[in-house]
Amino acid sequence: MNNNIHDNNNPNVPGNGVSGLAGGGPVGTGLILAGSTYSTLYHNNVYNNGAWGELIVDLPDAETGIANCQGGIFVPPPVGVCYYQAFGNVSLNNQFQNNGFFGNPSNGDIGLATIEHNPGNCFAGDQNPPGGATTTFTDPALLESNPAYAPTNGMCTTPNAGDEGPLAAEGLCDSQLLAPCPTLNTLCDYNPNLPCIPAPGFPINYPRPGTVQLSMPPAQTTMANPCAGVPTNVWCRSAGTHVSPAAVTPAVAGGVALGAWVLGGRLRLRLRRRRSAT
């Protein structure tokens, strides 16, 4: 709510494409709900994102086995993913401008790539330009005006689906979450309820990571005197004089031992007095 989300177009960030979901976000996307449920995107300014301003997609997540696929649809090896559906999400009164300039099919303000679910995902009041008419740069087309995608009292209550053809292929190609692009993702060969997503049969324009060399910072100078200006304490005995941990530890340990000895003596004395009184 009330966020400015823009210019997410740099592929040369740590972890991009090699760190699972953390590095698998499609480059050039402002907002993404991947396998998310019942989230509301409200009153955000989304601009200058080359692929999609907002993308709501089902998530084929790599898993180690069926025991870990809770809430999803397991696709066995050789694919070996857990398919999480995105549903119940609402996009409401967001402002879009200058998104989708990578120029690939389906790039634009809003993309929805989901198989059918009840409830589906809903959209209303999203504008381009800000303060203007509702955006028409969506895939599927007319998301903002089609009654099948209209929320009721801020909630999505109708069944619907998104574009599991070109848009799903473009999203997987941009993120390369499952494999290098172009590739062929035939999830339906292993589960008839899941989509067959062909490799894009058209030119693809997404920025790819280059060679990024991260260097260590130069050696830093330590503090000349960590006790300078510090009040006297167990570590700084006097202004400007630091005491090493080795010198402090025996004193602290001795104090603890002395306290325990005194406390033990007092307890023994009390017990003796009670016994003599009885």
pLDDT digits (tens, 9 = 90+) for 93-141: 999 999 999 988 899 999 999 999 999 999 999 999 988 999 999 999 9
Copy the structure tokens of residue 46: 């989304």
Per-residue pLDDT of the chain (278 residues; tens, 9 = 90+): 889 999 999 888 766 655 566 667 899 999 999 999 999 999 999 999 999 999 999 998 876 666 678 889 888 877 778 899 999 999 999 999 999 999 888 999 999 999 999 999 999 999 999 889 999 999 999 999 999 999 999 999 999 999 988 898 888 888 877 766 765 555 565 567 666 665 555 557 888 877 767 778 888 888 888 888 888 888 887 655 666 555 544 444 444 343 444 444 544 444 444 445 54
Compute, in degrees rounded to 10, the torsion defined by CA atoms 126, 123, 93, 10: -60
3-state secondary structure of 266: helix
Copy the structure tokens of residue 165: 């053809």
Widest Cα–Cα separation across the chain: 99
In this structure, what are the phi and psi dihedrals at residue 260, rounded to the nearest 5 degrees? -65, -40
Q: Cα dist. 230→116, 194, 221, 233, 242 in Å?
A: 65, 66, 20, 8, 10
Domain-by-domain residue ranges, the chain?
Answer: 4-197, 236-277
Q: What tens digit of pLDDT does each residue of 31-44 get?
A: 999 999 999 999 99
Compute, in degrees rounded to 10, the torsion defined by CA atoms 209, 9, 31, 99: -140
Are the beta carbons of 25 and 170 closer than 8 angstroms? no
